[in-house]
Amino acid sequence: MAKIPPSVDVAQLIAGVTAGDRASIGRAITLVESDAATHRQAAEQLLAELTVLGVDAQRIGVTGVPGVGKSTFIEFFGKQLTGRGHKVAVLAIDPSSAISGGSILGDKTRMVELSRDASAFIRPSPSAGSLGGVARKTREAIVVVEAAGYDVVLVETVGVGQSETMVAEMVDFFLLLMLAGAGDSLQGIKRGVLELADLVAINKADGDNLERASRARVELESALRYLPPVVEGWKVPVLTCSALAEQGFDELWQCIEQHRVHTVTSGQRAVRRSSQQINWMWRTVEQALTERFRHDPRVATQLSLLEQTVRDGELPATVAARRLLAAFLGD
């Protein structure tokens, strides 16, 4: 990761980002992701100025269980899009770092072609210590890449925990990749995730798998009929695709474009984005308050003892919470 000096020349960084300079984009993302108090002012100024400079990008979340083929899909899809003149940014979250705090190499090496593409920018975010493997500052990174002119932003998330909900809160389009499982095509995917999807694609529809994938598609299509629509007037399509066989991507992109036109003309996209902004505001407030709370000396002195008594079952969690709040608020 690029090192950020305590005093940052924000104007120079903005000039670099908007000129599309990769090193500047990398540094800008590192800065807005930084938690260091010395960076806060520069980071906020940078974000504020970059926000108004960004292109109106299509933000697409890609999810699915580990191994479903997300990274391979993004590599292939990304290449298709740059081939059509798009500039593609990928904000990838490597599951290995969520679980072990380990390296980010896995995904980077797999997107080897896309990372060599002059029209693509790949940023694997360290997800350790964040909720369900989504980097906490992905929204901030989106602002930076849009200011750099990337008009398609792909956010890859691991198919576990609450990460999907968080990613769905920051994109215009949520794509769920699934596999045609033995018998049960809904295996491994929680219903809640299915309810967030704007499109479901049965991946690895190739070779021996092709027929099973087509069957799974039909099954799923009828299952989805009973779910309430996420977007009014949008029936969630189920497609099949394969990066290996290079199939299904035209249809998929057409769907994404149709969704864009539908949500822009119906006003739903603007509504979705503004409620996402409010959501971002509250998440930021919550994070800052929690941080303050944890580090407050009146709280800190009691915290470990209270945690222990709750852990041992000697004190109800709610009572402990009340005591900590009382200490913090001076009640």
Ligand X SMILES: Nc1nc2c(ncn2[C@@H]2O[C@H](COP(=O)(O)OP(=O)(O)O)[C@@H](O)[C@H]2O)c(=O)[nH]1
Q: Interface residues with Mg ion (CB under 5 A)?
A: 70-71, 107
CB of 218 to ligand X, least distance (A): 20
The listed partner (Mg ion, ligand X, none) that binds 195, CB under 5 to 8 Å by sort, is none
Q: Both ends of the chain: CA-CA distance in Å?
A: 44
Residue with Cβ nearer ligand X (28 or 180): 180
Q: Smallest distance from the beta carbon of 142 to ligand X, in angstroms?
A: 20
String of b and e for 314-323 (b: at least 16 CB within 10 Å)? Answer: ebeeeebeee
CB of 89 to Mg ion, least distance (A): 16
Alpha carbon distance 48, 275 (integer Å): 18
Q: Are 13 and 7 in contact (CB under 8 A)?
A: no
Contact positions vs ligand X (CB under 6 A): 64, 66-72, 110, 203-204, 206, 242-244
The size of the chain, in residues, is 331
Integer CA distances (angstroms), 216 to 158, 164, 293, 298, in order: 22, 22, 49, 56
- Give the whole-angstrom CA distance, residue 180 versus residue 304: 47
CB 194 within 8 A of CB 176: yes
Tell me how far, at minimum, the Cβ of 128 lies from ligand X, in Å.
17
How many CB atoms within 10 Å of residue 197? 25
| Of residues 146 and 164, the one with the C-beta less far from ligand X | 164
Residue 204, binding choice from ligand X, Mg ion, none, Cβ under 5 to 8 Å by partner class: ligand X
Considering CB distances under 5 to 8 angstroms, the limit depending on partner class, which of Mg ion, ligand X, none binds residue 221? none
If the CB atoms of residues 72 and 266 are measured against ligand X, the closer one turns out to be 72
Identity of residue 81: L
CB nearer Mg ion, residue 62 or residue 255: 62
**66: partner contacted, choices ligand X, Mg ion, none (Cβ within 5-8 A by kind):** ligand X
Looking at residue 42, its amino acid is A
Select the residue whose beta carbon is closest to Mg ion and give its number.
Answer: 71
Residue 72: name its binding partner from ligand X, Mg ion, none (Cβ under 5 to 8 Å by kind): ligand X
Residue type at 131 in one-letter notation: L
Q: How far is the CB of 177 from Mg ion (least distance, A)?
A: 10
Tell me the backbone φ, ψ of residue 288, rounded to 5 degrees.
Answer: -65, -40
Minimum CB separation of residue 252 from Mg ion in Å reads: 18
What contacts 33, CB < 8 A, 6 or more positions away? 125, 135, 137, 140, 141
User: Nearer to Mg ion by C-beta: 8 or 122?
Assistant: 122
Nearer to ligand X, 42 or 200 (CB): 200
Nearer to ligand X, 31 or 160 (CB): 160
> Cβ of residue 83: shortest distance to Mg ion, in angstroms?
22
Q: Return the closest-CA partner of residue 237 out of 190, 174, 189, 147.
A: 174
